[in-house]
Structure 1
Amino acid sequence: MQTVHVTILVLYLLLMVGIGAWFSRTKVVATADDYVFAGRDLPRPVMIGTLLATWVGSGTIIGGASFAYRYGPLASIFFLAGTPVGIVALYYIAKRIRRHSTYTVPELLEKRYGLSVRIVAALITLLAYVGITAYQYTGGGYIISVITPLSPEAGAIVVAILVTFLAFGGGLKSVAWSDFVSALVIVFSLVIALPLILGKDIGGMSDYWSGMPETHRSLSGGLAPIELLGFFLPLFLLILADQNMYQRLGASRDEAEARKSTAGFFFSSFLVTVPVALLGSAAVVLMPDIQPDTAILSLAGEFYLPTVLGGLLLAGALAFIITTGSSFQLSGAGNVVYDVAQRMLGVEMDDRKRLWIHRLSVLGIGLVAYVLGRFFPTVLELQLYSYTVYGVAIAPPVLAIFLWRRASKAGVLTSMILGVVVTITWEQLGQPGGVNSVLVSLPVALVALFVVSLAVPDKEPRSLDEEIADAEGAESASEA
């Protein structure tokens, strides 16, 4: 245990608590809209930072580094490429996401496909987001165990408490600003650490390259092409329909700002994913027998970096994990409030009641996520499971809103249900033949969407813009 590391960690945690307390003030978060959309007045650097920090959490710092440690830097291109490729797709629909901003993705789906689709989508989103929150707790517990005498299990409790505190108090405002601070810390730490590890500790790029196992120097890392695709797709599908991305783009000041923030998100993502791939694989050269999940954490905690920089890297990694966990916890609680309580159960809520139900839902999701995290041995395992359930079930219907007007309610419902059932069944069977579940469930979901939509079309296939225009016209007529 390094005293400097512990000091930096404690100072960081106090900073996060301070940010949460500051934005929990009543005059800052006075309404449910303030809680979910942060008043739609976030500066662009904060928008970019919150997009980056929300997406890059335990799945990248621990799961991505674990992949690089196991298979090498070139294979990591396929695993991590889901992020920039998905961001490019988001860039082209960012304006429309902002124009049709909703509290939740299931609410957006209802506008196009109806209530039944919203209900199913809400249940799927809750299932996946609780899982994603759970592996943030697990990943944060790893980091705290590296810095302090606490076990990973005890560290996970600390992380769960802090994640819940940030989401509970200030909503998106506190989460976004803590995201921004965390993004600055982790990007600075990774960019500075990379040349030190590859140059000073290993001895240069040639020693780095020759020091890795032979399979790590190949493009595939020893994996078959179909296996690489199985690692690429979950990240790609999740970002295409991630409710956090849609809520943040909806919270931007206007449509143009939504697109500019997405562009900033694209470029800044390389400042994290590239160092993670290189540092994770560099750990194989320096520490060939460690647990893969701890690849980057061990570089920071085992004296390979200057003490202060190592402490900043550990604190920054924990920062991303905490802010990502807060985002998914806050977003999942929104599904409880707007999709389940308000829409499905018809609970009458004024603004004050809605705000408090949202906060209580944050607490409930935190508790369930912590319990779920005890059942998955590694972050990468839980990461891929959660990503696949959500991405396979939700991404095709959401993209069809913008790209295919003939998608029908029957096709969407069939696609979502089969996507979840096949994913869970394949996972429970132990991934027969070593095939990742996304490679089975995604084709099933896509075929179901197309075939059933064509076989059982809606009476008048309509675009989302037409549906909303009709709804607004009917509302104006009733008010008149």
Structure 2
Amino acid sequence: MVLLAIYFSKKEVNSGDDFIIAGHRLPLIVVIGTLTASWVGSGSLVGGASFVYQYGPLAAIFYFLGGPLGIIAMYFIAAKTRALAKRTVPEMLEVRFGKKTRLFSTIFILLTYISVLSYQFISGGYILHITTGIPEQLGSLLTVLFVIVLAATGGLFSVSYTDMFSALLIIFGFIIAVPFILVEVGGISTLVSNLPDTKFTVTGGLTPLQLIGYFLPLLVYIIGDQSMLQRFSASKTEQTARRSTIGFFIGVTTVYCLITFFVTASIVLLPNIKPDTALIEIANQSLPLPIGVLILAAFTALLVTTANSFLLSMSGNIVYDLYGQFKEKLPEEKYLNFNRVTVVVIGIIAYLMATFFTSVLELSIFAYTMYGASVTPVILAGFFWKKATPQGALASVITGGVSTILFEIVGNPIGGNTILLSLPISIIALVGVSLLTQKHSVPITTDSIKQ
């Protein structure tokens, strides 16, 4: 990973666009790999594993289902995103909804991504603690330093190519490990029979409302995730962007099935571990050394590349959506240097935030909800709803983001996760205010972009 970062920093990264969106030059196989690896970070490998360990494999279907369904929706916006060829989601939203929507969406994206970045660092600490015995906070700090070095050198070029290899490595490692785990648990039928009764029910002991509260955040988050949309923008062509969603769907679905299998086995083989560490522990304790090493190395690589992705994304938001809106345009070389400095500062802040949280699942659900309620409805309206207005978009972003924070502080009065209230509030604000402030407005299309 270090070698790739050094290579691309010397050969390919010459401007801010090269750094943030790879100069719109990524080929299909790389786009598929970087989409898969960026999504399957610690939110899936640690947070998702924690959910499976606590509630069982059948309930996990509802938790993970939002990802594949969201990717299907992304098929219809991938080419339009590439046609826009923007560096960030707020920059894209400005095309339809103006500068105020760009500013406020930037604020809530930064709040989301600093949370996402923090739990990548927490997970890095878990892995290094379990495999080497060093304290978790020191492990997180080492992860931060490594991530910053990689992100600040090669930009999205190095991240994308290391993503591709990491995704292939984790899938390959999981697949060759399956027979060994089946032997350990005595086969599928024995595994199922040894599961606790409460963990082999459709709900896993959760209420239907709680299940929906876990399902929705992933669905609404992945559809509008800036990190994903930037990869569409980085694709060589619109056709490449659209086709990449097919490989993305296959890759994510495969990894989700493998995660569910391994964590289900860990419920039986390792009944007294911390849920967040279920995948790490089964690789560390229940597999032959070479295969366990392979999986943990791939696991770590995915955390690092995912963290890189969010560092780069936030750097783009600060440099282009905040600084770029209030200062004179900089030469490309200065944008590049500014991006690199910003990466370092953000990494340090995210590490400090990580020291205040212990649950990756809890932090990931908050992040998904924040983004899904404040940004995703406006993105979809920008592409598909001609009656959406700048006023409605701004109202949606603000109410979605603020309500998420308030309900996290005071608690959700109807129970379940915050998204059960914050997403409907955001959509009602978008529709209601747009209808009250109707003007001639059209969805973002390729023709409107060219105009």
Structure 1 length-normalised TM: 0.92
Work out which of the residue numbers 385, 391, 394 in structure 2 matches 1:404.
Answer: 385
Alpha-carbon distance in structure 1 between the residues aligned to 2:276 and 2:432: 41
Work out which of the residue numbers 407, 411, 418 in structure 2 matches 1:437.
Answer: 418
**Shift of the alpha carbon at 1:163?**
1.2
Q: What residue is the counterpart of 1:464 in the other structure?
A: 444
Q: What residue is the counterpart of 1:5 in the other structure?
A: none
Work out which of the residue numbers 68, 74, 91 in structure 2 matches 1:84.
Answer: 68
**Shift of the alpha carbon at 1:466?**
8.5
The number of residues matched between the two structures is 451
Match status 1:167 vs 2:167: no
Alpha-carbon distance in structure 1 between the residues aligned to 2:166 and 2:412: 36
Q: What residue is the counterpart of 1:180 in the other structure?
A: 164
**Shift of the alpha carbon at 1:78?**
0.7
Alpha-carbon distance in structure 2 between the residues aligned to 1:137 and 1:65: 16
Work out which of the residue numbers 379, 382, 386 in structure 1 matches 2:363.
Answer: 382
Q: Which blocks of at least 5 consecutive residues in structure 1 are unaligned? A: 1-15, 474-480
> What letter matches 1:448 in structure 2?
A
Alpha-carbon distance in structure 2 between the residues aligned to 1:192 and 1:137: 28
Q: What residue is the counterpart of 2:312 in the other structure?
A: 330
Relative distance call for 1:464 and 1:92 in structure 2 (3 A) is closer
Alpha-carbon distance in structure 1 between the residues aligned to 2:113 and 2:53: 26
Identity of aligned residues (%): 42
| Alpha carbons 1:69, 1:282 under 8 Å: kept | no
Work out which of the residue numbers 270, 275, 298 in structure 2 matches 1:292.
Answer: 275
Aligned structure 1 segments of 4 or more residues deviating by more than 3 angstroms: 430-434, 465-469
Q: CA RMSD in A?
A: 1.4
**Shift of the alpha carbon at 1:159?**
0.8
**Shift of the alpha carbon at 1:244?**
1.0
**Shift of the alpha carbon at 1:348?**
2.8
Q: What residue is the counterpart of 1:9 in the other structure?
A: none
Partner SS, residue 203 of structure 2: coil
Relative distance call for 1:466 and 1:327 in structure 2 (3 A) is closer
Partner SS, residue 149 of structure 2: helix
**Shift of the alpha carbon at 1:37?**
2.1
**Shift of the alpha carbon at 1:465?**
3.3
Further displaced range: 407-416 or 334-343:
407-416
| Alpha carbons 2:27, 2:240 under 8 Å: kept | no
Partner SS, residue 386 of structure 2: coil
Which whole-Å deviations, capped at 9, do the CAs of 1:288-327 have from their partners, x for residues lacking one? 111100101110111x101010011111111111100000
Work out which of the residue numbers 76, 79, 82 in structure 2 matches 1:98.
Answer: 82
Q: What residue is the counterpart of 1:247 in the other structure?
A: 230
Work out which of the residue numbers 117, 121, 136 in structure 1 matches 2:120.
Answer: 136
**Shift of the alpha carbon at 1:33?**
1.7
Q: What residue is the counterpart of 1:373 in the other structure?
A: 354
Structure 2 length-normalised TM: 0.97
Q: What residue is the counterpart of 2:9 in the other structure?
A: 24
Match status 1:231 vs 2:214: yes
**Shift of the alpha carbon at 1:433?**
5.6
**Shift of the alpha carbon at 1:185?**
1.2
> What letter matches 1:323 in structure 2?
T
| Alpha carbons 1:241, 1:391 under 8 Å: kept | yes
Which whole-Å deviations, capped at 9, do the CAs of 1:81-139 have from their partners, x for residues lacking one? 11110100001221111111211000111100011100001111111111111110001
**Shift of the alpha carbon at 1:462?**
2.3
Q: What residue is the counterpart of 1:356 in the other structure?
A: 337
Q: What residue is the counterpart of 2:111 in the other structure?
A: 127
Further displaced range: 154-163 or 31-40:
31-40
Match status 1:153 vs 2:137: yes
**Shift of the alpha carbon at 1:431?**
4.0
> What letter matches 1:465 in structure 2?
T
Alpha-carbon distance in structure 2 between the residues aligned to 1:238 and 1:194: 30
Alignment of 1:293-308 (within 5 A): 293-302=276-285, 304-308=286-290
